[in-house]
Chains A and B, each alone.
Chain A
């Protein structure tokens, strides 16, 4: 049986789908019996999802403008 501590160290391998079949089964078995580890896994997933929400892909217009004008200069030289 996996310990809780061992489970916390396998959580990324589990989420990445890189656990071998036997380990995956032990992982799930432990989860089924252990509410705190279920909470831990849930929090890890929530953390990953929340980090993803930090994504900012806006480019300020002046930066875009500068890059495009550098591009035009580059063309002229070419």
Chain B
């Protein structure tokens, strides 16, 4: 992978206060951390390993590593960045051991990182639509997901994205992270992040379209 993103932003005063409370042994402070991150951590870990159970294990191990390492947290990155880097390192190790193609790994190249993201067969040689997007008849995400099959189709499309795209889409679009935070945790450039997001989103739109067309 190319050069890493600009150095992570430093911890906020809120981060440092929370760390201090956890180190002081305050249950509510640790509970706060769990509530803020646990579910997102499982989602991200799942990109690297083959099952939800293994992802849960990786997240549990991460929490223990966080507690053991917290004393040494110096606030040179945001707390979130620090936690998720521990997570991705553990998940990566586990994924590699499982023989999975893990995101951003030098071991496996992903099939889909060059050429146009959208299917070129949909356009004429002049780049006009020959097979334009068919209307969906839904105008809000709620309407899209009200139908269980559509939700299932979308979920499945996310799960079958190439791992690096899935990681970026999961963080950006499911968990609502900023581009900067994603770059800091995954140690990728802004441009790389945007390309992966674009390719991932393009595939998801296509999957929903196929679903609506009954393909």
Q: How many chain B residues touch A (Cβ–Cβ < 8 Å)?
A: 56
Given contacts A5-B127, A43-B133, contact A56 B118 (CB under 8 A): no
List CB contacts (< 8 Å) of A63-78 with chain B. 63-64, 66-68, 70-72, 74-75, 78
A46 contacts B139, C-beta separation under 8 Å: yes
Q: How far is the CB of B193 from chain A (nearest CB, A)?
A: 10
Is the pair B30, A71 in contact by a Cβ cutoff of 8 Å?
A: yes
> CA–CA, A18 to B189, complex, Å?
14
Q: Is B174 a contact partner of A54 (Cβ separation < 8 A)?
A: yes
**Interface members, chain B 87-134 (any A CB < 8 Å):** 116-118, 120, 122-123, 126-129, 132-133
Interface residues of A in 33-78 (CB under 8 A from B): 36-37, 39-40, 43-44, 46-59, 63-64, 66-68, 70-72, 74-75, 78
Q: Is the CB of B154 within 8 A of A51?
A: yes
Alpha-carbon distance A6/B120, docked complex (angstroms) = 11
Q: B35 in the interface, Cβ–Cβ < 8 Å?
A: yes
Please count the residue pairs between chain A and chain B whose beta carbons lie under 8 angstroms apart in the complex: 138
Are B31 and A68 in contact, CB atoms less than 8 angstroms apart? yes
Q: Interface range on chain A: under 10, 10 to 19, 20 to 34, or 35 or more? A: 35 or more
Where chain A touches its partner, the secondary structure class is helix
* Nearest opposing residue in chain A for B70, CB measure: A74
Question: Cβ of A36 and Cβ of B133 under 8 Å apart?
Answer: yes
B169: Cβ under 8 A from any A Cβ: yes
Q: Give the interface of B toward A (CB within 8 A).
A: 25, 27, 30-31, 34-35, 38-40, 56, 60, 63-64, 67-68, 116-118, 120, 122-123, 126-129, 132-133, 135-136, 138-142, 144-145, 150-151, 154-155, 158, 169, 173-176, 179, 194, 197-198, 201-202, 204-205, 208-209
A-B residue pairs in contact (CB < 8 Å), sample of 15 = A5-B116, A9-B117, A16-B179, A18-B194, A36-B133, A43-B133, A46-B144, A49-B144, A50-B141, A51-B158, A52-B176, A55-B174, A67-B34, A68-B30, A68-B34
